[in-house]
Amino acid sequence: MREAFVKLVEQQAQESARFLVIMGMAKSGTTLPLTLLDGHPQLCVFPEELRFFHLSCDDPDAQLATEALLGNANIQQLKNRFNQYTEYQQHGGTGFGKRDYSNIDYQLFHQAIQWIYQGTDIAYLRYLGTFLALELARHGDLSAIDTSRIFVSKAPHNELYLSRWQRMLGNKGKYLFMLRSPFELRLSLKKIDDLTNTQSLPVENFVKGYEGRLKLLKLSNLSDSQLYILKYENLIDNPEMVMRQIAEFLQIEFQAGLLHPTKNNIDWDGNSIRGLSENKIFNNPERARLELDKEEYNYIERNLQEIIEQYKYKSAS
C-alpha cells in the first residue's frame, strides 16, 4: 500500500487539487468557519489545527519533519474517541467541544504520514499527503479516497508564513483571513491570559502585530479571487449571507449544512470559553471599553485608527 499511496499523492498533485488556508490571529475566530465548512461534500476539512509551516514540516530532514507533525498536540487529538472536555487547564475554559474520531484509524494515519514524509521532501506533496493520509485513515481503502475536493486547513498565524504558502500552492491556493475588532480581540486575549496566569503581550506589541498582519496581506498581492477577508462580527451577525459569499468564493454549492458547525461531522460546541451561542459571543464594543484598561483602549484606538475606520470598527468612546 505504501507505493500506491505515494503514487496517489503524486498523481493528485499533478491534477486538480485545490486548497483553502484559513488564517488569522489567535482568538480571531478561525475555528468557526472551519467547523461551518466541515461537512460540505465538496470539501475535505482537516478537523484540527494543521500547523504545517509552524512546525517546519517542509524540513528536508524526513525524521524531524515527521516527528514535528505527529508529535504536535493538535494532531494527537485525532486519537480521541468521543471526548467532551469540561475542563482544560491549558486553555482555562470549558470549550473545545466534542471530538469523535472513532472512524479514524490513527495508526494508519501515522503510517501514511511516514510514507509520504520519508518518500519526498517537497513541501507541497507532504501537505497534500497529510490530507490524503487522513482520508485513508477514515476509509481504510485507497479507492475510497475522493481526490476531487478542496482541501481546507487552518491555524492561527498562517499569514506570517504567507509567502511560503504562496510559493507552495501557487494558483491552487485560496486564503480566508479572519479579522476581529482590535478592542474585543485584545480583551479576549487578556481574558485567556488571566485564566492561564500568563503575562499579557504589551499593548504596543499587540497593535504592531495586528497592523502587521494586514500589511502582509497587502504585500502578498493576492487577488480578490484568492483572498477573502472575513470580519468575525459579520459571520456572527449574518451567517447565511457570509457563508453564501464564501461558497461563491470557493465555487462550491451553498448548502444548509454551511450554517451548522461540526467537527468530523459531529456537532461542535465551540473552542472558546463562551461557546458558539449568539448570546455568549463576545461582540460588544461597549463591554470592551469598560473592561479594557483605559490607556490600552485609547492606545489601540489612536494607533489603529486607519484600520478601525476602513473596516468600520466603531469605538465606544
The answer to whether residues 151 and 44 touch, using CB atoms and an 8 Å cutoff, is yes
Asked if pLDDT for residue 163 goes beyond 80, the answer is yes
| Grid cell digits, residue 124 | 507541497
pLDDT at 227 over 90: yes
pLDDT at site 83: 58
pLDDT score recorded for residue 216: 96
CATH number, domain with residue 152: 3.40.50
Q: Which of 215, 174, 182, 237 is nearest to 27 (CA)?
A: 182
Residue 308 forms part of a structural domain: no
Confidence at 289, pLDDT banded by 50, 70, 90: confident
CA distance 138 to 41: 15
Q: 193 or 98: whose pLDDT is higher?
A: 193
pLDDT (0 to 100) of residue 154 = 95
Percent of the chain with pLDDT over 90: 66
Q: Is the pLDDT of residue 75 over 50?
A: yes
Domain that holds residue 233: 2-182+223-283
User: In angstroms, what CA-CA distances link 235 with 101, 159, 231, 243?
Assistant: 27, 20, 7, 8
| 21 lies in some domain | yes
DSSP 88: B
Q: What three-state secondary structure class fits 262?
A: strand
215 beta partners:
none
What total number of domains does the chain contain? Answer: 1
Is the pLDDT reported for residue 246 higher than 90?
yes
Query: Distance between CA 48 and CA 78 in Å, rounded?
Result: 8
Q: b vs e for 20-33, b when ≥16 Cβ sit within 10 Å of the residue's Cβ?
A: bbbbbbebbbbbbb
Cross-strand partners of 43:
150
Give the number of other CB atoms < 10 A from CB of residue 264. 23
Q: Please indicate, yes or no, if residue 117 is contained in any of the structural domains.
A: yes
Burial call 100-125: b when 16+ CB within 10 Å, e when fewer = bbeebbbebbbbbbbbbbebbebbbb
299, part of any domain: no
CA distance 24 to 283: 17
Number of Cβ within 10 Å of residue 94's Cβ equals: 17
**What pLDDT, in 10s, does the model give residues 23-63?**
999 889 999 999 999 989 999 999 999 989 999 999 999 99
Position 118, amino acid: Q
**Euclidean distance between CA atoms 73 and 69, whole angstroms:** 9
How sure is the predictor about 96, in pLDDT bands with cuts at 50, 70 and 90? low
* pLDDT for position 229: 97
Average pLDDT, integer, range 259-288: 66
What is the residue-averaged pLDDT of the chain? Answer: 88
pLDDT tens digits for range 126-160: 999 999 999 999 999 998 888 889 999 998 899 99
pLDDT confidence of residue 120: 94
* Closest to 24 in 3D by CA, of 152, 157, 153: 157
Q: Is 147 within the bounds of a domain?
A: yes
Does 88 score more than 60 pLDDT?
Answer: no
Q: Is residue 316 part of a domain?
A: no
The DSSP symbol for 135 reads H
Ramachandran category for residue 96: left, alpha or beta (phi over 0 → left; psi -120 to 50 → alpha): left
If pLDDT is split at 50, 70 and 90, which confidence band does 117 have? very high
The answer to whether residue 195 is domain-embedded is: no
pLDDT band at 89 (very low <50, low <70, confident <90, very high): very low
